[in-house]
């Protein structure tokens, strides 16, 4: 089934398999296609825009939750999409959405939780603006009390490319959420620990974003236990297969007791395919879990020294290795990263359709599922399976045999796709690495919508 989409004076033909996708999905695909081919660049003078509504040929507004096949007629499916590149904003510089966008992007249980969390962060921001320290405050003079005046535009930074202001804002917000329930320490030690954490917070933000990626309005944002386990595994802190129980205990130690008993956190993710929920660590939880890991390995160190060891001797070398090996960071073609980020959320949707998901680990992709996905997208012939397996392992930084893992998390999956696209898509004149990656991603997002969870 193909949908004819009219946008301004242009028409796009988009393949959608048997039409099981929603019009919300179609809106995302339209945006990516317009950006990819720069169709409206001249008329809009920007590539930053969003679909604000979709109507049928009769001018009737289509519910974004409707399935495409439900609107199929004898003449096919033809729709008219409206887009915008600016919105009125509130006092916090948050865009105001119309009814279609709220229904398509915001109205969900997870989104309501997300909105509540944002409000809590805004409330936390208020006392940080110009409130003087008490004269007898034991933390006076500490780096962590020298909070930076934040701008609303930087209030929620979830993604890549952090500025100094982003990092300062992230620390000031996250520090308030670090409860250290598993530690007993006085305010002086807490101050020293905070100073160490703040001095490395750019590193923490980058590593967290490497695994969690780019945030999206209406979706929960955080790190799964599988992702946290892979980090500890590839930094050689704990081997994932051998110390799964230890890692699980560390992962859950940062959550409140009532959260663990319920089996899902207030930051729980939910699979659109299976409906299964799983725990997600926020960045504040992630920092606490790093310290818990370091203190388990180095029990004789004080909290501040254990954290410094983890950040300086473990996390920093790992990040240097990732940025030198992962194609999204190391490619000489600066359009590679842009290509991946443009399709990030659609790639994640495809990833979730093929993954094994449970309440403990979150989404993860096996080698066989990776091969099936590449074959379904016609990116891989049967005689190229060994090439795909090589890419699967390269995404794990080519570990020795005893450290190879059975699954990929999302960031590793993206790296495997990047590497495979450069191996199986031939180089023609003018076909850059970024363009070859775009071709591969387009083949993946054209896959029929998986209704069986594969």
- Better-predicted residue by pLDDT, 249 or 149: 249
**In this model, does residue 99 exceed pLDDT 70?**
no
pLDDT category at 96 given cuts 50, 70, 90 is: low
In this predicted model, what pLDDT tens digit does every residue of 278-337 receive, in sequence order? Answer: 888 999 999 999 999 999 999 999 999 999 999 999 999 999 999 999 999 999 888 898
The per-residue pLDDT for 159 is: 53
Report the pLDDT value the prediction gives residue 143, as an integer from 0 to 100: 42
Is CATH 3.10.20.600 the right assignment for the domain spanning 2-104? no
**Tokens encoding 297:** 């390995």
Extract the tokens encoding 241.
Answer: 């297969």
Give the per-residue pLDDT at 40.
57
Residue 259 confidence (pLDDT) above 70: no
Supply the pLDDT for residue 86. 65
Residue labelled with tokens 């890692």: 247
pLDDT band at 449 (very low <50, low <70, confident <90, very high): low
Q: What is the pLDDT of residues 399-423, one digit of tens each?
A: 999 999 999 999 999 999 999 999 9
pLDDT for 369 equals: 94
**Average pLDDT estimate for 74-88:** 81
DSSP assignment of 374-421 equals: HHHTT---GGGHHHHHHHHHHTTT---GGG--SEE-HHHHHHHHHHHH
* pLDDT confidence of residue 177: 86
**Predicted pLDDT at 106:** 52
Contact 339, 436 (CB under 8 A): no
| pLDDT over 50 (residue 267) | no
Structure tokens at 159: 């993604």
pLDDT of res. 165: 83
Share of the chain above pLDDT 70, in %: 73
Give the pLDDT confidence score for residue 153 in this predicted structure: 30
Confidence of residue 20 (pLDDT cuts 50, 70, 90): confident
Stated as kind and residue range, the H or E segment containing 277 is strand 277-278
User: Do 441 and 343 meet the contact criterion of CB atoms below 8 Å apart?
Assistant: yes
What average pLDDT does the structure give for the chain?
79
Q: How confident is the model at residue 88 (pLDDT cuts 50, 70, 90)?
A: low
What number is the average pLDDT over the span 80-97? 66
Q: How confident is the model at residue 194 (pLDDT cuts 50, 70, 90)?
A: very high
Name the token pair of 78: 């033809």
Q: In sequence order, which residues have a C-beta less than 8 Å from that of residue 23 and are 6 or more positions away? A: 54, 62, 63, 64, 65, 66, 68, 79, 104
The pLDDT of residue 105 is: 56
Q: Is the pLDDT of residue 454 over 50?
A: no
Q: Is the model more confident about 123 or about 380? A: 380
The pLDDT tens digits of the residues spanning 431-440 come to 889 999 999 9
Q: What is the CATH number of domain 332-445?
A: 1.10.238
Averaged over 350-354, what is the pLDDT?
A: 90
The more confidently predicted of residues 357 and 299 is 299
Bridge partners of residue 270, in order along the sequence: 277
Q: In this model, does residue 273 exceed pLDDT 50?
A: no
Domain ranges of the chain: 2-104, 109-325, 332-445
Among residues 311, 318, 316, 280, the alpha carbon closest in space to that of 294 is found at 311
Neighbours of 74 (CB within 10 A): 4
How high is the pLDDT of residue 360?
Answer: 86
The string of pLDDT tens digits covering residues 21-56 is 888 888 888 887 777 666 555 555 455 677 888 999
Question: Rounded to whole angstroms, how far apart are CA atoms 354 and 370?
Answer: 8
pLDDT for res 22: 86
Per-residue pLDDT band at 201 (split at 50, 70, 90): very high
Least confident of 121-125, 358-362, 450-454: 450-454
- Mean per-residue pLDDT, 143-156: 35
Confidence of residue 204 (pLDDT cuts 50, 70, 90): very high
Report whether pLDDT(141) > 60: no
């Amino acid at each position: 089934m193909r949908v004819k989409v009219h946008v301004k004076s242009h028409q796009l033909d988009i393949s959608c398999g048997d039409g099981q996708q929603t019009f919300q999905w179609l809106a995302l695909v339209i945006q990516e296609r317009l950006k990819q081919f720069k169709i409206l660049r001249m008329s809009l003078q920007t590539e930053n825009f969003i679909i604000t509504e979709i109507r049928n040929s009769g001018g009737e507004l289509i519910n974004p939750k409707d399935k495409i096949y439900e609107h199929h007629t004898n003449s096919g499916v033809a729709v008219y999409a409206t887009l915008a590149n600016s919105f009125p904003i509130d006092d916090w510089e948050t865009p105001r959405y119309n009814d279609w966008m709220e229904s398509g992007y915001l109205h969900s249980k997870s989104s309501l939780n997300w909105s509540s969390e944002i409000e809590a962060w805004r409330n936390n921001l208020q006392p940080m603006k110009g409130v003087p320290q008490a004269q007898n405050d034991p933390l006076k003079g500490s780096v962590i009390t020298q909070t930076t005046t934040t701008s609303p535009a930087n209030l929620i930074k979830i993604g890549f490319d952090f500025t100094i202001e982003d990092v300062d804002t992230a620390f000031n917000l996250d520090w308030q959420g670090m409860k250290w329930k598993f530690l007993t320490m006085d305010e002086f030690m807490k101050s020293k620990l905070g100073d160490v954490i703040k001095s490395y917070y750019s590193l923490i933000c980058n590593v967290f974003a490497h695994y969690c990626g780019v945030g999206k309005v209406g979706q929960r944002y955080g790190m799964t236990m599988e992702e946290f386990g892979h980090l500890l595994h590839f930094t050689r802190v704990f081997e994932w297969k051998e110390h799964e129980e230890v890692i699980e205990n560390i992962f859950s130690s940062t959550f409140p007791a009532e959260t663990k008993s319920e089996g899902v956190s207030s930051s729980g993710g939910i699979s659109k395919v299976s409906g299964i929920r799983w725990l997600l660590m926020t960045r504040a939880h992630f920092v606490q879990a790093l310290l818990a890991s370091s203190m388990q390995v180095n029990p004789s160190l004080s909290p501040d020294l254990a954290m410094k060891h983890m950040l300086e001797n473990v996390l920093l070398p790992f990040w240097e290795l990732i940025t030198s090996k992962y194609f999204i960071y190391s490619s000489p073609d600066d359009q590679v990263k842009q290509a991946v980020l443009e399709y990030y959320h659609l790639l994640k949707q495809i990833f979730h359709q093929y993954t094994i998901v449970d309440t403990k680990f979150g989404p993860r992709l096996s080698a066989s599922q990776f091969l099936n996905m590449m074959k379904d997208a016609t990116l891989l012939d049967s005689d190229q399976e060994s090439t795909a397996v090589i890419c699967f392992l390269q995404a794990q930084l080519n570990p020795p045999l005893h450290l190879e893992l059975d699954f990929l998390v999302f960031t590793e999956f993206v790296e495997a796709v990047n590497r495979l696209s450069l191996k199986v898509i031939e180089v023609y004149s003018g076909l850059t690495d970024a363009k070859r990656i775009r071709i591969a991603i387009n083949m993946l997002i054209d896959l029929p919508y998986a209704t069986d969870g594969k």
